Chain A
Amino acid sequence: MTEKLSQEVRKLPPCRAACPAHVNVQAYVALIQKGKFKEAVEVIRKDLPFPAICGRVCFSPCEDACARVNLDQAVAVRSLKRLVADIEHEQGRVIAKPVPKKYSEKVAIIGAGPAGLAAAYELSKLGYPVTVFERMAEPGGMMRYCIPDFRLEKFVVANEIAYIKDLGVEIKTGVEFGKDITLESLKKDGYKAVFLAIGTQLGMKLNVPGEDLDGVINAVDFLRAIALGEKIAVGERVAVIGGGNTAIDAARMAKKLGAREVMILYRRSRGEMPALPHEVELAEKDGIKFYFLVAPKQIIGENGRVKAVECLRMRLGEPDENGRRRPIPIAFSEHQYEVDTVIPALGQMVETSVLPPELLSKEKRGPSLQVDPLTLETNIPGVFAGGDVATGPASIIEAVGAGRRAAVSIHRYLRGWDLRKDRDGERIEETTWVKDWRLLEKKERRYDAPIEKPHLSFEEAREYLERLKRQARFEAFRCLGCGPCAECLASMELCEGDKAVVDEGKCVGCNICAVVCPVEAIKKNEKGVAHVNEDLCKGCGLCAARCPERAISMKKLSDEQVLTMVLTALKR
């Protein structure tokens, strides 16, 4: 798994380098091209235990990094991932083979969210006995309790977690950290390493007067209550405060629960909204109103219930340390929105009360937990922490990335290896040859129907699927394959994994091969003869076709072999 990646510096295609979990995007897209959907999911699972979940709700940094953007638009990676995962689900849940326990050291993971589960997944694949402790009744964390059903179906989460359980991970639910178990009790029970991934469970407060009125409910609590099946009465007119994905989710949920009018109040403008643009579009389609550059000043109540929210107009000032422009209130611009429910969705914070005090950071600002950003160690040996709890609220894929890093650290810690030597993270480099593309003229090509129809239920999507398979393959064909050929691993036998070989005796050092090579894989070495860098060679054979002395041949599909194929074809 990550070991191989962490031991060598590899030039990765931009999509894989951009992904926090370094999922091998190019490989599975190549497999989709060939119609090998099942193998594609297997490739995703090597790095990511949640293909179906991420296929639905990932913010897809891979698509932002896609080199295809320079030509028309990015390859729809997330939709492709969702599709292959759905095709797999359609044929029934895949049952993983349990991994034999190679090591005896027990590992405890606190929190069955994406970070904890990803760490458990990687550690159990390595052969450790892993136990995950979860406070809630069901594992899944925010994926289960905070993302509403219309974005991420509960059974999808359950399926993916069941796959992790199949590997031999034990998940104990209803166990609260700080109450039922502590670091000491875990140590006493024989756990050699602990990974804290409790996430950020508390909704941030508005800090305005009137916050404890009846009818003010935090977005996280609101969504969690719905996921738990509690009856929540939303009023007629709902104001959601905030501009993140949780705000959008809460607003859409309120609308679906029957609110007549839902508005989102955000203190910056649309461009600064952290929510995914496509989610914002969907919210607009649902009829949710957006008010930008407004911030609540107070919540006005009547008989203990919310009556209105009083807001101030804002203007944007200088960018802050995150590069977002800071909102500045405009004096005397108070105005009121008449609402009966206020849902603050300003972000979440760590429930510091459950954490042992020695782990907490002394600094007031910044993350509340002291964690080494590379190895995820805390100041207690054997205790690691990662995911939202360490970095502040982020995304599923970032949590998975943290979980994977923690797994590598725990593995090294338990084996007594150096935790820092040759770690990935800062060593990920992008391939650079894509610069050539930028010379080409940018062309407009609209990718017709999107693969994903977010409104479809799973059953509807199934009918849609057959038609989509063909479309998916076309979409996958748009991939430029920025990485070297060996990037595809599983598809090796499909595309031959061909490499160029130089006959050094014949080479005259004309350097034509270096000129035609699209990836700078072949170059003159110090002896003055061409030398192939096999890590980069994609096996296109352009150099072999141009070599004036015919000194270059291809390993798998040589000219002689092509000729034999021609002869057999013509005899037919």
Chain B
Amino acid sequence: MVLVLARETLIVNDLHKIYEDGTYAVRGVSFRVREGEVYGLIGPNGAGKTTTLRMITGLIKPTRGEIFVDGINVVKKPFEARRLIGYLPEEADVYIRLTGYEHLEFYAKLYGVEDIEKTVEYGAKLSGLPEEKLRERAGGYSKGMKRRLLLAIVLMRRPKLALLDEPTSGLDVYASVRVREIIKKYVRETGSSIVLSSHNMLEVEYLCDRVGIIYSGKIIIEDTPENIMEKYGVENLEEAFIKIVEEEK
């Protein structure tokens, strides 16, 4: 029995995932994300971050546990829940023969948004890409431009919950800053909830209201970045993260 509190966009309760090959990827993950909150899911490689996010999208079925997005049970009604979710996978890419505008239009139609023109316009604005660039085929974009376009696709229809898996992974400093600006601006404008998975502690500190550190498929600590830093007597989240993970080993 799960108590659904008001203004909680996401509830993840005792989530487990064992893959067919026997890999126990997630071992009882539980967390809640409030409306308008940016929640950081951080952890070393293979900790279970991506599997957790994929289970929230309904792409992967949990072995056990429950997920509610705005009160909708993801396991039971994945397609209904997906309309409320925007997901940016860590390794997403663009269609090389479609233009930026065509990408925005295609996904707006696919998600069945009512005002396609306005949504595309908002997406274009969010991406921060110049109009002439958006009219070009995306195959010629730089990695940073592609990431900005994909992020704009995820956010343009203002989903209740956006799941961003390593949104700045592999980007240079300049491109990373631009992506962070998009996220920050979006949250300010819409008040939507975001779950952000990242290895970049600076980014997490900058963007997240609360953080859950995941290790070996379990959340081992959950608090605000400031409280975590204070608790471990360190000046930044990176040091705190290393201390926490070392303690767990």
Chains A and B form a bound pair: no
A positions within 8 Å CB-CB of B:
none
B positions within 8 Å CB-CB of A:
none
